[in-house]
Amino acid sequence: MTGRLAPLFAPRGIAVVGASRDPAKLGAVMARSLAGFPGPVAGVNARDVDPAAGLFASVADAAAATGPIDLAVLCVPAAVSAQALTDAAAGGARAALVCSGGYAEAGGPGVGFQADLVAAAADAGVALLGPNTSGFLAPARALTASFVPGAAAVGAGPVAVVAASGGVNHALAFLLADAGLGVSLAVGLGNAVDVTAADVLAHLAHDPATRAVALHVESVSDGPALVAAVRAATARVPVVALVVGRNDVADFARSHTGALATSWRTTRAALRAAGAVLVDDERALVDAVTALSALRLAPAADPGVGVVTAQAGPGLLHVDGLRGRGVAVPPVGEGTRARLAELLPPLTYQANPVDTGRPGPGFADVLAAVSADPAVDLVSAYALAEPDALDLPAAVRAAGTGPLVVGMGGPPEQVEPQRRALRELGVPALTSPAALTAAVAALVDDARGRAAAPEPAPEAAPVRPAADRIAADLDEDEAKTLLAGLGVPCPPRRACADRDAAHAALAELPGPLAVKLLDAAVTHKSDVGGVVLGVRDAAALDAALDALEAAGASRFLVESMAPPGVDLIAGATRDPVFGPTVLLGLGGVVAEALADVAVAPAPLAAAAAAGLADELAGRALLDGFRGGPVADRGALGAVLAALGDLLAAHPEVEAVEVNPLRVTAGGLLALDAVLTLTPAGRPPEEGH
């Protein structure tokens, strides 16, 4: 093993700095955990030197006695850890694991202790894992650098765990062991002051023992680095990501777009765009890597799944789950149905899913028939254990199918031997219909992601001359003028400096009219009574202007009202971690109440942007629901792509929001628009 992390995960020798004879202390616990390591493991404690007992005054002394020490495990208080790391590096250590806490996570003096530790590692050129982590496991090397009891019982396997939390790292490792998989490497990053998830992913991208990665994300400090690492890793191995923070609700910003595009949504969108498979909980994470560590479908835009079930009820649960996740379960062809009719009783359902009624000797032939159907890219089979009726591993072996995933239920003493036999055949074996659904969905998502991956995100075209910097927040009229130049359609309007200009606009514009307060500082005009609708004559206009002046207006926007339709929110915001991000959601108060939104990193192609509409729970509203208008997905994608390009080309822009963007029978119309600048982009008098 080569690379910067080789001394950490494949050391020739290890020193436990802060070793102790007190069995309850961290140094003693770590020494016991490392006892199975085949290379030298030395203790370092300047106050208790006993070479015969493996205790030395320094790492240098230990290396002189035992051979090279690559990894120093620091079990010392935070206040002295920086010096301990410096001393370890002087003795030859090229990597350090710091398990103790009391650093930045604790606040106060811990912030300084962490800064000192980081500086010491940088000065010495040491790869530093932690601090504030329970460690890592590399079972194939008999390396248990962990203070968690029982960690050594986790066996070697094909799945790597990269977890923000040391506790989650071990929890996933134990779940993978229970699933019969084991781990190639399981890493808890802790505070991740040096070695990050991106670093470990880059390491795993070249690890032949790893066939799938389980990634747990709590927060991200360097979004582009993580995205690049996931993209590089997924070229060889699938990455399944669990992102924490679904229910994190930030205060609403000046633009709704920034608040709706929470860090959780943005992180998930960025990882998915990089090729990761996304899951919602740790159980689904284990089910996903169970499947993906055994097989990977060919890239495909919409792989078809053929479902074979020995019992109708569990099969129905499984198919219902698949369709709810958008997985295609296509009807099998006439030739397949004819073959199934020869194999199965006439009362069974044979179109897909295929219900065998009960398991029997023809189960292998059914699997083979469904697998051979042209519409089927993956077979998913579920059966309760009935040893007298079906030897499922033997049936799978006899069927010789293409890609296959199996779910089994029954008493553990009957199921576990069959699951082990299936894994030996390279067939993932799950424990329930829900687990089977999660596994199949992961395989399909991975295939879809790789089918979409070859088209790189476009570079943002300069939407205005580079010298034409946007120097201030734009009011609605100015924002719409800018958006119209990008191809975003807007209703006819007039910006009016006084009442006379407003009356002139009344005569010029087709009515009825909307009359609005025009002020860049007021981003949500309806909240302050700054919008009056349905104005048709001079008297109504004067009443509207009176109301707007009472609300503080000195300038007005007079605009033709749009025909009825479906309101959306479309925008782009500058995420502090991942950069420009576009957002699409249901507009108005629905966006706030339900947060039915989809996000994607920008810049992105218009076709990819159009696909965000399919991620909305309310997507049926865009397809002519109850006689309503049908959204032009191509035009919608072009608007979203243009908004993303705007931010990519203008670093001074913080966010741009079109809310609502109305879907009408005549096309899209931007009814309101807001553009705000970053604090650095605003003039000095606005930035404090």
- CA distances to 203, 212, 578 from 196, in Å: 11, 18, 16
Predicted local confidence at residue 346, as pLDDT: 84
Instruction: Establish how many alpha carbons lie within 13 A of residue 473's alpha carbon, considering only the half-sphere containing its beta carbon.
Output: 25
Find out whether the peptide bond into 417 is cis, omega within 30 degrees of 0: no
Contact (Cβ atoms closer than 8 angstroms) between residue 491 and residue 561: yes
492-560 with 566-677: one CATH topology? no
Contacting residues for 115 by C-beta, under 8 A, at least 6 apart: none
Contact (Cβ atoms closer than 8 angstroms) between residue 588 and residue 600: no
Predicted local confidence at residue 251, as pLDDT: 35
- The dihedral of CA 339, 344, 347, 353: what is its sign? negative
Class for the domain spanning 492-560: alpha beta
Predicted local confidence at residue 590, as pLDDT: 64
For the CA atoms of 227, 233, 235, 236, the dihedral, rounded to the nearest 10 degrees, stands at -170
Question: How does strand 653-664 pair with strand 566-575?
Answer: antiparallel
64 three-class SS: helix
Predicted local confidence at residue 586, as pLDDT: 87
Contacting residues for 500 by C-beta, under 8 A, at least 6 apart: none
Q: Position of tokens 């909240």?
A: 527
Euclidean distance between CA atoms 679 and 688, whole angstroms: 8
Tell me which architecture the domain covering 136-293 has in CATH.
3-Layer(aba) Sandwich (3.40)
Predicted local confidence at residue 680, as pLDDT: 75
Helices (H), 344-430: 363-372, 392-399, 412-424
Specify the DSSP class assigned to residue 457.
P
Q: What is the pLDDT of residues 101-120, one digit of tens each?
A: 999 999 999 999 999 999 99
Return the CATH number of the domain spanning residue range 296-452: 3.40.50.261
Query: Token pair of 233, please?
Result: 């890793």
Residues of the chain with pLDDT under 70: 1, 247-262, 453-467, 588-593, 681-688
Q: What is the pLDDT of residues 167-199, one digit of tens each?
A: 999 999 999 999 999 999 999 999 999 999 999
Predicted local confidence at residue 502, as pLDDT: 97
CATH superfamily, domain at 566-677 = ATP-grasp fold, B domain (3.30.470.20)
Euclidean distance between CA atoms 501 and 555, whole angstroms: 10
Predicted local confidence at residue 252, as pLDDT: 31
Q: Where are the domains of the chain?
A: 1-132, 136-293, 296-452, 492-560, 566-677
Domain 1-132 has CATH 3.30.465.10: no
3-state secondary structure 645-680: HHHHHCCCEEEEEEEEEEEECCEEEECCEEEEECCC
